[in-house]
Structure 1
């Protein structure tokens, strides 16, 4: 009887420490960020990030479930557990590395400014000018 208790204790102990597993991965993606992710009229997601995630899910033998997110809500959705991962566009903020795990960068990009005819030629020329850009809650 004592041996049975020890075996039962070990089984409970070991199964309680087993890794969690799911048959699907919930991925937060933008509906309008071509060429990285977009959605067509049939609610079918496509783009580079979608192709990349489909290949990862195929190799892991799991299903990718795509959930639409915006730049404003994607980190909140990730933090609340509604997503397993997301593809935030843009550079990786140094302070975010303490709280999140990022993949290796897979693209480099340079910032560009679009203006009507203008004398702006350098970043210094932007001083005291109004600049528009997408709003984000990224850390």
Structure 2
């Protein structure tokens, strides 16, 4: 994969994560209740919501190609996979319990769960492609 294609893939992935992050933050006070409706225990919904938002935020430096240390880039890469993993688990729980998608928080309501799972799956593919090494990053 060329360097240009890698940057485009990172940008698209970063934008998709940013959209879900902004949707979650616009109605954060209702976000834990939305996660509870997906089938997660009420006492775990607020910590999971906080962790998800923080992990999504820390995944952005790698995706927008910030010039930071290699350790920070590594943390950002791992955060990207962790955030999508949490989103996938929450989406599957909501699907299994018959609720609407919750990855957009309470901002965008009544999103079909299959659509949300497909979106997270596409974000997984894009994130894996963004983490593939190019000739320049392999050094």
**Same fold? TM cut 0.5:** no
Scaled to the shorter chain, the TM-score interval is under 0.3
More helix by share: 2
TM-score normalised over the length of structure 1: 0.26
Which has a greater percent of strand?
Answer: 1
- TM superposition score normalised by structure 2: 0.26
Q: Which has the larger radius of gyration?
A: 1
Question: RCO higher in 1 or 2 (8 Å CA, sep ≥ 6)?
Answer: 2
